[in-house]
Structure 1
Amino acid sequence: MKSFDLVFSNFGIFDLVDILLVAILIYLFYSLLRGTIAINILIGYLLIYIFYLIVKALDMRLLSTLFNGFFQVGVIALIIVFQPEIRKFLLMVGKNFKLYRNEYWYRFFVRNKTVRKEMEHAQIKPILDACKVMQESQTGALIIFAKNPEEEHFYKNGEEIQAVVSKRLLESIFNKYSPLHDGAVIISEGKIMSAACILPLTDNQDLPPYMGLRHRAALGISEVADVAALVVSEETGHLAYARQGKIKAPITLSDLERYLRKDLI
């Protein structure tokens, strides 16, 4: 009891701030790993470390020596393995600072909620209008919404476009006679970055039979990158939406608008 009182007698406001900052950093790092294959690597590393502690407690010298050698280079190994996530984390910190700064000025100058809603709707409307037409004509489409395209490499294997998102442009790209209709369109910050991009497919074997390559590519990219993916089925015209390794289908245009407001805006 005395030791308990001694610990908390020295506990100050900066200790509380210290704990909160560490908790925030852990949460941010976890949010980057969630839904990606990197979380499985981290869990595996932690399990090996727990096994090492057990071996050390049991005084198993040979295994302890082997694990000691492994963990001596463990920090370097983690930096190499998690290099994309560390880079993504640093990009996220810088980008969020920029976003919060822009949001401050946005709220300062655009106080009217109606005006803000109109600005948000203007970003989403071309996508919804194009999806409505493609649904009716059963034109297959795969659209990826990336927050930080500069940190992702999957969009670089397609044709660079760098054009403002518009209904007619999306319809033209996914027209079955267009040379760019196969593959995915990458949208970020209100622009079509590239088209005809080849994406990794998911290994998930539990998908319904009606989900084809577009659905598998949408789910696959959402498992390994911080993106959202929209699919228009060529067979049925139904919409599907993939995020963080999960896919929702079929969804309505109202559902799509709600998801885009949450993830895109």
Structure 2
Amino acid sequence: MDLLKLEFSWLDAIDLLIVIVLVIQLYRLLKGSLAFNIFLGLCVIYAIYFLVKALHMTILTSILQNIINVGIIAIIVIFQPEIRKFLLVLGKKTPLSKDSFFTKLFLPDKFKSYKEEEAIINEITLAATHLAQKRTGALIVIANTYRVKFDTASSINIDANISAKLIESIFSKESPLHDGGLIIVGNKMLAAKVILPVSENPNLPTRIGLRHRSAVGITEHSDNLAIIVSEERGTISVAQDGVLSMDISPEELKVKLYEVMVDGIS
């Protein structure tokens, strides 16, 4: 009797590697969210389906088959935010993305001066430092596009140049604009008193308040950076890609701003 020979080519290795990378990225996106439990539930349904099909249980197989057929549409609806974030991660890794070696090597403006960006970074860092020292709460969102979505009904349009003193005055406790977030796009402060979506991530620290949860929420499904100044602790934190980094120094904040505002466009 001839033994079954398994052929494993380099194409199979690439195929397996791609699947592993996709699964790891999917796990990272869903880990810690309510969608992760839903994903596990769907995996259980599929496992039961293959089991009853192998056991030739006709009625259960038919029922589960119909559930699975409808489930494809349900998956798209339920996991819409996660799918968008997953595609955003993939877009960052493509050869034509702004962070890729190909883009940096062949696109023009390689020797552009970033004096304006450096001045803006210094102003934002200075404002956050002063607010933290005075224990004045603040939430600043650094958006990468003017098409950033927020509630325009409750927000106040500013369209002003970025200034540390102006940022501090906006979040002053006597200011009518201190509630909500401040949206910064490019070299402009776009709007203040912005209501932001609140994260539902159950793994966030229980001690954090609405300001920190809103910062995480605005970065979970968009390529933004959120800066939070804690009114209670007088500390600076940042949120990016749905991940909260707490109690960072002004120097660490400046490095993070450089990554977003300078390295991100170089």
Normalised TM-score (structure 1): 0.71
1:142 Cα deviation (Å)?
0.9
In terms of fraction of residues, the more helix-rich structure is: 1
**1:1-265 matched pairs, under 5 angstroms:** 3-4=5-6, 7-8=7-8, 11=9, 37-87=34-84, 97=96, 99=98, 100=100, 103-104=104-105, 109-110=110-111, 121-147=118-144, 150=147, 153-154=149-150, 156=152, 158-202=155-199, 204=202, 207=205, 209=207, 211-222=208-219, 226-264=223-261, 265=264
1:183 Cα deviation (Å)?
0.5
1:200 Cα deviation (Å)?
3.7
Percent identity of equivalent pairs = 37
1:46 Cα deviation (Å)?
2.4
The change in CA–CA distance for 1:53 and 1:193 in structure 2 (over 3 A counts) is farther
Q: Contact 2:141 / 2:181 at 8 angstroms: preserved in 1?
A: yes
| Distance in structure 2 (CA, Å) of the matches to 1:154 and 1:37 | 24
Normalised TM-score (structure 2): 0.71
1:154 Cα deviation (Å)?
4.1
1:110 Cα deviation (Å)?
1.6
RMSD, aligned α-carbons: 3.9
Consecutive unaligned residues in structure 1, runs of 5 or more: none
* 1:138-190, Cα deviation, whole Å (9 max, x unpaired): 2210123345674x644556334455533233223212233221001233445
1:181 aligned counterpart, secondary structure: coil
Consecutive unaligned residues in structure 2, runs of 5 or more: none
| Distance in structure 1 (CA, Å) of the matches to 2:106 and 2:123 | 26
1:202 Cα deviation (Å)?
4.6
* 1:105-138, Cα deviation, whole Å (9 max, x unpaired): 6776329xxx66x566334212101112212322
Q: Contact 1:199 / 1:217 at 8 angstroms: preserved in 2?
A: yes
Structure 1, 38-47 or 247-256: larger mean CA deviation = 38-47
1:69 Cα deviation (Å)?
0.6
Corresponding residue pairs, total: 254
Q: Contact 2:236 / 2:249 at 8 angstroms: preserved in 1?
A: yes
The change in CA–CA distance for 1:225 and 1:178 in structure 2 (over 3 A counts) is same
The change in CA–CA distance for 1:219 and 1:85 in structure 2 (over 3 A counts) is closer
1:12 Cα deviation (Å)?
6.2
